[in-house]
């Protein structure tokens, strides 16, 4: 009975914390994006070399998008002939540096862990975007055609609103964005609560503790089927961390799931040929493993 009580208490507390964080962070990011013209971002991305890649990575870090939003923006960049390396840096950074992930990591695991995660993921996004352009991976892009949209006109109208209306609008968008996520969040928290209440700590230490050198690559692969959204992976990782799983394996689990989610890879196949999709998967896997081992060293 005590175990069931602890499990239910964990479920409700973590659910409330994650919902609050999601709404707060999404509202703040929504306000920021109202004042960042997409045309200006595109011009910045045209910068040569690593500068354009860094801007692409930073823009990806500001976008709390799921694959259904990231992929159309990527298609728009491709059609606008934005440098390929910058596009790849954006594409890699967008799921890995989602502000929801960073905010939740900071609140649940600690600011230091969130900062290390950001630096590692951002560095890998910039480096691998530059690398993919240098090896000529752009030849694996399919011919795409997308229709224009009125997002620029809408953004100009939003910028003229008073702050009270901007905040109200941003919160409304955050709430609308959270509603489809809620079932997945509850699934993740439910799995995490069950792990917290019932999974033996000795088992976790044996399979995925810091002493097991293979725990990190295994966790990176296991994150793929576990992940539906970042909000699902983090509570699971948090519960495993509490049971003795190494911090490196938890980070690898989150990166692997966030970056290699099966639905996103399927959507990428509409833009890229198979070889480039495989390259992106390899990049995310290497990022997950490298970040995991680095976390174990620094923690």
Query: Which pLDDT score is estimated for 127?
Result: 92
Residues above pLDDT 70, as percent of the chain: 75
Average pLDDT over residues 167-194: 78
Tens of pLDDT along 58-109? 888 877 555 556 776 787 778 777 889 999 999 888 888 877 778 878 877 7
Give the structural domain span for 96: 2-298
Average pLDDT value over all residues in the chain: 77
What pLDDT score does 205 carry? 64
Q: What average pLDDT does range 202-224 have in this prediction?
A: 74
**What is the DSSP code string of the chain?**
-HHHHHHHHHHHHHHHHHHHHHHHHHHHHHHHHTTS-HHHHHHHHTS-THHHHHHHHHHHHT----HHHHHHHHHHHHHTT--HHHHHHHHHHHHHT-HHHHHHHHHHT-HHHHHHHHHHHHHHHHHHHHHHHHTTGGGGBPP------SHHHHHHHHHTS-HHHHHHHHHHHHHHHHTTTHHHHHHHHHHHHHHHHHS-HHHHHHHHSTT-TTHHHHHHHHHHHH-SSHHHHHHHHHHHHHTT--HHHHHHHHHHHHHS-HHHHHHHTTTB-HHHHHHHHHHHHHHHHHHHHHHHHH-
Q: Total structural domains in the chain?
A: 1
Average pLDDT over residues 222-249: 72
- Assess whether pLDDT exceeds 70 at residue 48: no
pLDDT value of position 147: 47
């Amino acid at each position: 009975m005590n175990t069931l009580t602890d499990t239910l208490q964990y479920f409700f507390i973590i659910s409330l914390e994650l919902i609050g964080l999601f709404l707060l962070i999404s509202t703040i990011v929504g306000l920021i994006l109202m004042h960042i013209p997409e045309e200006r971002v595109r011009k910045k991305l045209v910068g040569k070399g690593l500068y354009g890649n860094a801007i692409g990575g930073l823009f990806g870090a500001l976008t709390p998008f799921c694959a259904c939003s990231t992929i159309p923006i990527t298609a728009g960049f491709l059609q606008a002939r934005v440098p390929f390396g910058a596009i790849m840096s954006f594409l890699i950074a967008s799921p890995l540096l989602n502000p929801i992930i960073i905010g939740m990591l900071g609140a649940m695991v600690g600011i230091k862990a969130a900062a290390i995660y950001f630096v590692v993921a951002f560095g890998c996004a910039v480096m691998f975007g530059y690398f993919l352009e240098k090896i000529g991976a752009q030849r694996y892009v399919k011919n795409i055609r997308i229709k224009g949209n009125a997002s620029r006109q809408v953004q100009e109208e939003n910028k003229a609103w008073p702050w009270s209306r901007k905040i109200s609008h941003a919160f409304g968008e955050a709430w609308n964005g959270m509603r489809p996520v809620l079932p997945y969040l509850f699934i993740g928290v439910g799995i995490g609560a069950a792990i917290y209440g019932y999974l033996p700590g000795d088992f976790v230490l044996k399979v995925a503790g810091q002493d097991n050198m293979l725990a990190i690559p295994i966790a990176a692969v296991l994150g793929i089927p576990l992940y539906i959204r970042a909000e699902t992976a983090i509570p699971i990782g948090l519960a495993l961390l509490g049971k003795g799983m190494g911090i490196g394996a938890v980070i690898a689990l989150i990166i692997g799931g966030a970056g290699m989610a099966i639905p996103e890879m399927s959507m990428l196949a509409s833009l890229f040929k198979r070889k480039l999709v495989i390259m992106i998967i390899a990049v995310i896997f290497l990022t997950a493993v490298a970040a995991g081992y680095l976390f174990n060293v620094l923690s």
